[in-house]
Structure 1
C-alpha cells in the first residue's frame, strides 16, 4: 500500500519522503485535491516497471506478427474492388 500525501505537504517533507522510499521500501503517492498526481518509487521499482512494459510491448508485437502471418492471401469479396475504387490487380509470379 502506498503512503499518500498532499503536494503542499510533500514539498516541505521531500527529503523525508525520499528516505521513506529508498530506505523504508515504501511508495509515496503525491495528491492534489485528493487525486493522485505523481508517485515516488525506488529506482529498482522503476527498473522493474520499465522491464515489464518492454516485455508487454514485445509480446504484443509478436502476437500481431503471428496473427498477420497466419492470415496469408485471401480473395477479395465479390464487388469489393469496385466498392473501394481499386483498379490495380496483382498477379503473383509463376
Structure 2
C-alpha cells in the first residue's frame, strides 16, 4: 500500500522521502486537501512502466494497421450477413 502524505508535510521531509523512495523502494503519494496529487516512485519503476507502455502502444498500432488493411479477415470467405437500413415507418 502507498503511504499518503500532505504536500505541506512533504516539503519539510523531502530529503527523507527521497531516500525512502530511492533506497527503500517505497511509493509515496502526496496529497492536497486530502486528495492524491502526485506520487514519488523509484526511477526503475518509472522506466519499467515506460517500457511496458511503449510495448503496449506498439502492439496497439500493429493491430490497428492489420485491421485497417483487412489482413485480419480470412480471404475467400463470403460475408455471412450484411447491414441494411430499415425502411422508414
TM-score interval w.r.t. the shorter chain?
Answer: 0.7 to 0.9
1:49-94 Cα distance to aligned partner (Å, 9 max, x none): 111110111111011001011179xxxxxxxxxxxxxxxxxxxxxx
1:5 alignment counterpart: 5
CA distance in 1 between partners of 2:6 and 2:31 (Å): 5
Give the gaps of 5 or more residues in structure 2. Answer: 74-89
The answer to whether structure 1 residue 19 and structure 2 residue 19 are counterparts is: yes
CA distance in 2 between partners of 1:21 and 1:38 (Å): 14
1:70 alignment counterpart: 70
Considering only CA atoms, is the larger Rg found in Structure 1 or Structure 2?
Answer: 1
**Count of matched residue positions in the alignment of Structure 1 and Structure 2:** 72
CA distance in 2 between partners of 1:18 and 1:3 (Å): 13
Length-normalised TM-score, structure 1: 0.72
Task: Report the 3-state secondary structure (helix = DSSP H, G, I; strand = E; otherwise coil) of the residue aligned with 1:26.
Answer: coil
Offset at residue 38 of structure 1 (A)? 0.6
Length-normalised TM-score, structure 2: 0.76
Alpha-carbon RMSD: 1.5
Give the gaps of 5 or more residues in structure 1. Answer: 73-94
